[in-house]
């Protein structure tokens, strides 16, 4: 198998793995958002301002769509249980980690979901400050406040993406090792 074939096979398995966690439309939106956030980073690094702005607008639709569907499907209490003083699963997960367990399954209202809730905050703010920056750019005078805020929230979002995405990939490889035959 060539490199492309191997990559396609890995992505296919990852797609299947994500299906254990997310219903079809949620999984599709989530995957599109992951790809578009990467596109935003790349267009920024390449200095493609126009492409960044246009894809940014597309990302706003998909990103807000992902969060609305997640919240609608699982309920806000899944991602923000502490607002209801509902910390049982969170405490269990933290205790498991403190006892040295590295791989803990994502459970409703648990650590993974709480982290996703915070990630939604970073995503929302990245999108809103992006829109603000885009609007000021359109009006002919780039807002420096918007640019600074956009950089800060994007930085937080990328930190989330590395942490959350990294944990998910960790679970993926662990799952493959334990199920897929060599
Ligand atoms: C969430 C993914 C995004 C990432 C990773 C990202 C990243 C960045 C970065 C690093 C900058 C440079 C900031 C600076 O140093 O001044 C920037 C600028 C900018 N972003 Fe975003 N951004 C994202 C989403 C958006 C969205 C949703 C919009 C809205 C349409 C947007 C519109 C802009 C505009 C207009 C600029 C300034 C113009 C330019 O220099 O291209 N971005 N973005
Ligand atoms: C910018 C990057 C990312 C963002 C903004 C993001 C955002 C989100 C959000 C909002 C959720 C909650 C939706 C739900 O309840 O299903 C979620 C869940 C999830 N994400 Fe991501 N994600 C990103 C990257 C990744 C990557 C790279 C992977 C794996 C390769 C991944 C794997 C997962 C999994 C498995 C879940 C569901 C876990 C559970 O059931 O608790 N994510 N993500």
> pLDDT per residue over 15-28, tens digit each?
999 999 999 999 99
For the chain, the DSSP string reads: --HHHHHHHHHHHHHHHHTTTS-HHHHHHHHHHHHHHHHHHHHHHTT-HHHHHHHHHHHHHHHHHHHHHHHHHH-HHHH-GGGGT--HHHHHHHHHHHTT-------TTSHHHHHHHHHHHHHHHHHHHHHHHHHHHHTTS--HHHHHHHHHHHHHHHHHHHHHHHHHHHHHHHHHHHHS--
As for how many domains the chain has, the answer is 1
Q: Whole-number mean pLDDT of the chain? A: 95
Give the domain range for residue 174. Answer: 3-179
pLDDT of residue 165: 97
Q: Considering the entire predicted model, what is its pTM?
A: 0.95
- Model confidence over 129-154: pLDDT tens digits? 999 999 999 999 999 999 999 999 99
Residue 10 Cα to ligand 1 middle (Å): 30
* CA gap 66, 70 in Å, rounded: 6
Q: Ligand 1: residues within 6 Å at CB?
A: 37, 40-41, 44, 49, 52-53, 56-57, 59-60, 126-127, 130-131, 133-134, 137, 147, 150-151, 154, 157
* pLDDT beyond 90 at 178: no
Tell me what pLDDT residue 179 has. 84
Does ligand 2 have an atom closer than 6 angstroms to the CB of 63?
no
pLDDT at 54: 98
pLDDT of 73 reads: 97
């Amino acid at each position: 198998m060539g490199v492309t074939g191997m990559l396609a096979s890995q992505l296919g398995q990852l797609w299947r793995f994500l299906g254990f966690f997310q219903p079809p439309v949620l999984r599709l939106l989530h995957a599109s958002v992951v790809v578009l956030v990467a596109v935003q980073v790349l267009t920024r690094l390449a200095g493609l301002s126009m492409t960044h702005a246009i894809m940014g607008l597309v990302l706003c639709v998909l990103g807000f769509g992902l969060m609305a569907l997640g919240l609608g499907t699982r309920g806000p209490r899944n991602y923000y249980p502490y607002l209801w003083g509902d910390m049982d699963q969170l405490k269990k997960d933290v205790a498991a980690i403190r006892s040295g367990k590295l791989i803990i399954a994502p459970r409703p209202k648990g650590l993974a979901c709480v982290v996703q809730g915070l990630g939604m905050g970073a995503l929302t703010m990245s999108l809103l400050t992006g829109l603000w920056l885009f609007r000021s750019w359109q009006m002919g005078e780039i807002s420096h406040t918007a640019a600074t805020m956009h950089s800060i929230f994007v930085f937080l979002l990328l930190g989330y993406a590395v942490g959350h995405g990294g944990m998910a990939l960790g679970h993926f490889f662990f799952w493959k090792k334990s199920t897929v035959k060599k």
